[in-house]
Structure 1
Amino acid sequence: MTRRGGKIAVMPAIPASTKTSLAQRLFLHARQHWPQLIDVHVRYRGQFGYVEGELTGGERVPLMRLRYGGSAHRWGLAIHTPSTGGYEDAIWFTGSPQEALDLVCDLYVTNTDS
Protein backbone atom coordinates (compact mmCIF):
# COMPACT_ATOMS: atom_id res chain seq x y z
CA MET A 1 0.00 0.00 0.00
CA THR A 2 1.10 3.54 -0.68
CA ARG A 3 0.02 6.84 0.82
CA ARG A 4 -1.37 9.56 -1.42
CA GLY A 5 -2.78 12.71 0.07
CA GLY A 6 -3.03 11.17 3.52
CA LYS A 7 -5.05 8.17 2.32
CA ILE A 8 -3.86 4.62 1.94
CA ALA A 9 -4.26 3.40 -1.64
CA VAL A 10 -5.37 -0.20 -1.96
CA MET A 11 -3.45 -2.19 -4.54
CA PRO A 12 -5.62 -4.14 -6.96
CA ALA A 13 -5.97 -7.85 -6.32
CA ILE A 14 -5.27 -10.17 -9.22
CA PRO A 15 -8.59 -11.52 -10.55
CA ALA A 16 -8.90 -15.31 -10.81
CA SER A 17 -9.29 -15.08 -14.59
CA THR A 18 -6.04 -13.10 -14.85
CA LYS A 19 -4.23 -15.65 -12.70
CA THR A 20 -5.37 -18.43 -15.04
CA SER A 21 -4.48 -16.54 -18.21
CA LEU A 22 -1.08 -15.44 -16.83
CA ALA A 23 -0.02 -19.02 -16.11
CA GLN A 24 -1.27 -20.18 -19.52
CA ARG A 25 0.42 -17.34 -21.41
CA LEU A 26 3.75 -17.92 -19.69
CA PHE A 27 3.60 -21.68 -20.26
CA LEU A 28 2.77 -21.32 -23.97
CA HIS A 29 5.46 -18.69 -24.47
CA ALA A 30 8.05 -20.87 -22.74
CA ARG A 31 7.05 -23.84 -24.92
CA GLN A 32 7.55 -21.79 -28.09
CA HIS A 33 10.70 -19.88 -27.15
CA TRP A 34 12.47 -21.60 -24.25
CA PRO A 35 12.86 -25.36 -24.85
CA GLN A 36 15.10 -25.54 -21.75
CA LEU A 37 11.94 -25.09 -19.68
CA ILE A 38 9.52 -27.99 -19.40
CA ASP A 39 7.10 -26.02 -17.25
CA VAL A 40 6.45 -22.63 -15.71
CA HIS A 41 5.01 -22.41 -12.21
CA VAL A 42 3.28 -19.33 -10.82
CA ARG A 43 2.21 -18.77 -7.23
CA TYR A 44 0.35 -15.71 -6.04
CA ARG A 45 0.49 -13.47 -3.01
CA GLY A 46 -1.42 -10.21 -3.00
CA GLN A 47 -0.71 -8.26 -6.16
CA PHE A 48 2.32 -10.42 -7.02
CA GLY A 49 2.87 -13.48 -9.17
CA TYR A 50 6.08 -15.37 -8.37
CA VAL A 51 7.37 -17.26 -11.40
CA GLU A 52 9.64 -20.31 -11.41
CA GLY A 53 10.90 -22.17 -14.44
CA GLU A 54 11.25 -25.94 -14.37
CA LEU A 55 14.29 -27.07 -16.33
CA THR A 56 14.41 -30.25 -18.40
CA GLY A 57 16.34 -31.97 -15.59
CA GLY A 58 13.51 -31.23 -13.13
CA GLU A 59 15.23 -28.41 -11.23
CA ARG A 60 13.01 -25.42 -10.41
CA VAL A 61 14.63 -22.01 -10.79
CA PRO A 62 13.08 -18.83 -9.35
CA LEU A 63 12.96 -16.30 -12.18
CA MET A 64 10.90 -13.24 -11.35
CA ARG A 65 8.13 -11.56 -9.45
CA LEU A 66 5.45 -9.84 -11.51
CA ARG A 67 3.48 -6.95 -10.01
CA TYR A 68 -0.14 -6.59 -11.08
CA GLY A 69 -1.22 -3.00 -11.57
CA GLY A 70 -4.73 -3.48 -12.89
CA SER A 71 -4.01 -4.73 -16.43
CA ALA A 72 -3.49 -8.32 -17.53
CA HIS A 73 -1.20 -7.06 -20.30
CA ARG A 74 1.18 -4.69 -18.48
CA TRP A 75 3.06 -5.83 -15.38
CA GLY A 76 5.90 -4.54 -13.24
CA LEU A 77 8.94 -6.77 -12.87
CA ALA A 78 11.36 -7.74 -10.13
CA ILE A 79 14.18 -10.07 -11.18
CA HIS A 80 15.20 -12.89 -8.84
CA THR A 81 18.73 -12.43 -7.57
CA PRO A 82 20.33 -15.79 -6.70
CA SER A 83 23.10 -14.18 -4.63
CA THR A 84 20.58 -12.74 -2.16
CA GLY A 85 17.64 -15.06 -2.73
CA GLY A 86 15.43 -12.00 -3.12
CA TYR A 87 13.95 -9.93 -5.89
CA GLU A 88 15.25 -6.66 -7.30
CA ASP A 89 12.74 -4.31 -8.85
CA ALA A 90 13.39 -3.46 -12.47
CA ILE A 91 11.83 -0.02 -12.16
CA TRP A 92 12.49 0.69 -15.82
CA PHE A 93 10.39 -2.28 -16.94
CA THR A 94 6.69 -2.41 -17.54
CA GLY A 95 5.50 -4.83 -20.15
CA SER A 96 3.85 -8.10 -20.96
CA PRO A 97 4.54 -11.22 -18.92
CA GLN A 98 6.04 -12.79 -22.05
CA GLU A 99 8.51 -9.91 -22.43
CA ALA A 100 9.45 -10.27 -18.77
CA LEU A 101 9.98 -14.03 -19.22
CA ASP A 102 12.25 -13.43 -22.23
CA LEU A 103 14.30 -10.93 -20.25
CA VAL A 104 14.92 -13.20 -17.27
CA CYS A 105 15.45 -16.30 -19.40
CA ASP A 106 18.10 -14.42 -21.37
CA LEU A 107 19.84 -13.87 -18.03
CA TYR A 108 19.40 -17.26 -16.37
CA VAL A 109 18.07 -20.04 -18.58
CA THR A 110 20.47 -19.76 -21.51
CA ASN A 111 23.42 -20.04 -19.12
CA THR A 112 22.28 -23.14 -17.20
CA ASP A 113 24.61 -25.51 -19.08
CA SER A 114 27.81 -23.60 -18.24
Structure 2
Amino acid sequence: MTGLRVRYHGQFAYVEEELADGDRLPLLRHRYNGPASTWGLGLYLASSGKYENQILPTGLPIDTAQEALDCACDLYLNY
Protein backbone atom coordinates (compact mmCIF):
# COMPACT_ATOMS: atom_id res chain seq x y z
CA MET A 1 0.00 0.00 0.00
CA THR A 2 1.27 3.44 -0.85
CA GLY A 3 -1.59 5.44 0.65
CA LEU A 4 -5.29 6.15 0.82
CA ARG A 5 -7.34 8.17 -1.64
CA VAL A 6 -10.58 9.89 -0.65
CA ARG A 7 -13.13 11.29 -3.07
CA TYR A 8 -16.39 13.00 -2.19
CA HIS A 9 -19.83 12.78 -3.76
CA GLY A 10 -22.79 14.36 -1.99
CA GLN A 11 -23.01 13.09 1.58
CA PHE A 12 -20.50 10.29 0.89
CA ALA A 13 -16.72 10.05 1.18
CA TYR A 14 -15.26 7.05 -0.69
CA VAL A 15 -11.95 5.67 0.59
CA GLU A 16 -9.66 3.56 -1.61
CA GLU A 17 -6.29 1.97 -0.98
CA GLU A 18 -3.58 3.00 -3.46
CA LEU A 19 -1.35 0.07 -4.39
CA ALA A 20 2.31 0.30 -5.43
CA ASP A 21 1.43 -0.58 -9.05
CA GLY A 22 -1.04 2.33 -9.28
CA ASP A 23 -4.18 0.24 -8.92
CA ARG A 24 -6.82 1.24 -6.38
CA LEU A 25 -8.77 -1.06 -4.08
CA PRO A 26 -12.16 0.27 -2.85
CA LEU A 27 -12.43 -0.08 0.93
CA LEU A 28 -15.33 1.85 2.36
CA ARG A 29 -17.85 4.60 2.04
CA HIS A 30 -18.40 7.09 4.85
CA ARG A 31 -21.88 8.57 5.02
CA TYR A 32 -22.18 12.00 6.64
CA ASN A 33 -25.06 12.04 9.14
CA GLY A 34 -25.14 15.67 10.27
CA PRO A 35 -22.82 16.33 13.21
CA ALA A 36 -19.16 16.25 12.17
CA SER A 37 -18.43 13.42 14.60
CA THR A 38 -21.03 10.92 13.34
CA TRP A 39 -20.52 8.94 10.17
CA GLY A 40 -22.06 5.74 8.82
CA LEU A 41 -19.94 2.97 7.34
CA GLY A 42 -20.50 1.05 4.13
CA LEU A 43 -17.92 -1.63 3.34
CA TYR A 44 -17.12 -2.40 -0.28
CA LEU A 45 -18.05 -5.97 -1.23
CA ALA A 46 -16.07 -7.22 -4.22
CA SER A 47 -18.59 -10.03 -4.74
CA SER A 48 -21.34 -7.55 -5.62
CA GLY A 49 -19.30 -4.47 -6.54
CA LYS A 50 -21.41 -2.45 -4.10
CA TYR A 51 -21.10 -0.84 -0.68
CA GLU A 52 -23.13 -2.38 2.16
CA ASN A 53 -24.01 -0.51 5.34
CA GLN A 54 -22.44 -2.00 8.47
CA ILE A 55 -22.78 -1.97 12.23
CA LEU A 56 -19.51 -0.78 13.78
CA PRO A 57 -17.67 -2.61 16.60
CA THR A 58 -19.32 -0.21 19.07
CA GLY A 59 -22.65 -1.84 18.15
CA LEU A 60 -23.93 1.36 16.55
CA PRO A 61 -24.58 2.14 12.86
CA ILE A 62 -22.72 5.48 13.24
CA ASP A 63 -19.48 6.59 14.90
CA THR A 64 -16.51 8.81 14.19
CA ALA A 65 -14.86 8.70 10.77
CA GLN A 66 -11.69 7.35 12.45
CA GLU A 67 -13.58 4.43 14.04
CA ALA A 68 -15.10 3.51 10.67
CA LEU A 69 -11.72 3.68 8.93
CA ASP A 70 -10.09 1.60 11.68
CA CYS A 71 -12.82 -1.03 11.32
CA ALA A 72 -12.36 -1.29 7.54
CA CYS A 73 -8.55 -1.44 7.82
CA ASP A 74 -8.79 -4.19 10.44
CA LEU A 75 -11.06 -6.21 8.17
CA TYR A 76 -9.37 -5.66 4.81
CA LEU A 77 -5.76 -4.73 5.50
CA ASN A 78 -5.02 -6.44 8.84
CA TYR A 79 -3.51 -3.24 10.31
Q: TM-score by structure 2 length?
A: 0.79
Percent sequence identity is: 50
Map of 2:27 onto structure 1: 63
| In structure 2, C-alpha distance between the alignment counterparts of 1:62 and 1:48, rounded to whole Å | 14
| In structure 1, C-alpha distance between the alignment counterparts of 2:36 and 2:20, rounded to whole Å | 28
Residue 67 of structure 2 is aligned to residue 99 of structure 1:
yes
- The aligned amino acid for 1:74 is T
| In structure 2, C-alpha distance between the alignment counterparts of 1:47 and 1:88, rounded to whole Å | 15
Gaps of 5+ in 1: 1-36
List 4+ stretches of structure 1 deviating above 4 A: none
The alignment's C-alpha RMSD in Å is 1.9
| In structure 1, C-alpha distance between the alignment counterparts of 2:23 and 2:68, rounded to whole Å | 20
The structure richer in helix per residue is 1
Gaps of 5+ in 2: none
Give CA-to-partner distance per residue, 1:20-70, whole Å, 9 cap, x none: xxxxxxxxxxxxxxxxx4221111111111111113454311011111111
Map of 1:50 onto structure 2: 14
2:47 to 76, 83, 106: 83
1:74 to 6, 20, 38: 38
Q: Aligned in 2, Cα 1:56/1:78: closer, same or farther, shift over 3 Å? A: same
**How many residue pairs get matched?**
75
SS of corresponding position for 1:84: coil
| In structure 1, C-alpha distance between the alignment counterparts of 2:44 and 2:71, rounded to whole Å | 12
